[in-house]
Amino acid sequence: MAGIITPIASLLLSVALLLMGNGLQGVLLPVSASLGGFSDVDIGILGSAYYAGFMVGCLFGPRLVRRAGHIRAFAAMVSIVSSIALAHSLITEPVPWWLLRAGTGLCFAVLYTVIESWLNEKATDENRGLVFSIYTIINLTVITLGQLMLTFAEPGEFELFALASILVSLAAVPVALTRGTAPAPITAVNINLRSLYRLSPVGVGGCLAVGLANGSFWALGPIYALERLGTGSGVAVFMSVAVIAGAVGQWPLGRWSDRTDRRKAIIVACGGASIAGLSLVVLAGTGTGSILAFVFLYGLFAFPIYSLSVAHTNDHMATDELVQAASGLLLVFAFGAIVGPVIASMVVGAIGIQSLFAFTAAIHVAMVAFALYRMRERGPAPEATRTAFADTLKVAQTVSTIDPLSATAPPGPGESRQN
């Protein structure tokens, strides 16, 4: 284990600090915006702006990294994100915050480009799954810790913005001082979304549904928690419970999907998420315990859908197409996460914050119906190219390989495979 961790220890420490600051900022901004008088639509656009910037960063970040190098690009993006965190505290107006949040999303796409390409180069085929398992555990753990830092001061006060800035700034230090060699220049892959949909409609649909529903949850979930639980500490616990539940749900759902038609696992996950969402609508006023119990169930079912969708898509791809598929699915997710919070905020503005989870439930029910339709149309999934759920971790090089000039790329091999 030590031989695997040592070459990437500096990078993992930087990741921990970086994502802890981002976890804090992700829950701090919606709550501060609500306390600052932003409308529901303003807050929804704030959530969408992050993913709009993220998509732009996915498309053009690899070029920046190839030109500047991994370490310099990482340091530059960390500096910008740290400055943006402080800038949020200087002016509390919707339009500047939207632009700042889009800038944060763009920078994080570049940062993930550096992180994932670095981890992929240092890992081997034998330990890649372990390396990315460690990366995923760190990711979920430190985001949870960052969210819980909301309890350190009153939301909207300068101290929390400063703390987020400090954490992000410190993330540059381990990478800047590392004695290890930087990865080789990034090689981009071509993406054809039309071909990807023909190969795996349910996989693409699942990633879109995750973007629509979970993007809305990240944007407006803190506002739901603030109105229902009444305190910043309640918001922090609410969001952290959902993240922890998502981590817990990955393994049992993933392992079960290895033994059955993976579309059935996607249907169960979407069905469970819709029931949990509707419960949060109906039972919202019954007390803190019930709210936390049902948001745990929401995270348990809703967060693994992306991994299940990627794994299902991988079942229908040749080995040399896996990175291309993962990159395309990431863009589909990002598109959903741009559109979802805006629509959800309009629904919330018209009906009330409790309708947030009615909106996510509607998306998950629609995904259940679509997956059932595809199963009826195409029958059982083929077993010949089936891959283990855990192997989806080996194709985590998604952000770093996207080629923005590939929208009209010719169909890849095996386009006739359908499910």
Domain ranges of the chain: 1-182, 189-401+412-419
User: What pLDDT does residue 311 have?
Assistant: 82
Q: Are 40 and 345 in contact (CB under 8 A)?
A: yes
Fold of 1-182: Growth Hormone; Chain: A; (1.20.1250)
What CATH number labels 189-401+412-419? 1.20.1250.20
CA-nearest of 61, 39, 102 to 350 is 39
The half-sphere exposure of 14 on its side-chain side, counting CA atoms within 13 A, is: 25
The string of DSSP codes covering 91-144 is: ---HHHHHHHHHHHHHHHHHHHHHHHHHHHHH--TTTHHHHHHHHHHHHHHHHH
Tell me the pLDDT band of 129, cut-offs 50, 70 and 90: low
User: What pLDDT does residue 391 have?
Assistant: 58
User: What pLDDT does residue 184 have?
Assistant: 72
Tell me the pLDDT band of 156, cut-offs 50, 70 and 90: confident
Q: What are the CA-CA distances from residue 211 to residues 158, 216, 330, 359 (Å)?
A: 31, 8, 9, 13
Tally of CB atoms within 10 A around 407:
11
pLDDT at 30 over 90: yes
| Among 11-20, 49-58, 298-307, 405-414, the least confident range | 405-414
Output 292 or 328, whichever has higher pLDDT: 292
> How far is the C-alpha of 310 from the C-alpha of 135, rounded, in Å?
18
User: What pLDDT does residue 135 have?
Assistant: 79
> How far is the C-alpha of 376 from the C-alpha of 207, rounded, in Å?
20
Question: With pLDDT > 90 as the criterion, what percentage of the chain qualifies?
Answer: 50
Output 157 or 275, whichever has higher pLDDT: 275
Cα-flanking dihedrals φ and ψ of residue 402, to 5°? -80, 130
User: What pLDDT does residue 396 have?
Assistant: 43
Mean pLDDT across 20-24? 93
> How far is the C-alpha of 163 from the C-alpha of 25, rounded, in Å?
9
| Among 301-310, 356-365, 399-408, the least confident range | 399-408
> How far is the C-alpha of 206 from the C-alpha of 368, rounded, in Å?
9
User: What pLDDT does residue 307 have?
Assistant: 85
User: What pLDDT does residue 405 have?
Assistant: 44
Q: What's the mean per-residue pLDDT of the chain?
A: 84
The answer to whether domain 1-182 and domain 189-401+412-419 are alike in fold is yes
Output 50 or 154, whichever has higher pLDDT: 50
pLDDT at 286 over 90: no
Output 112 or 106, whichever has higher pLDDT: 106
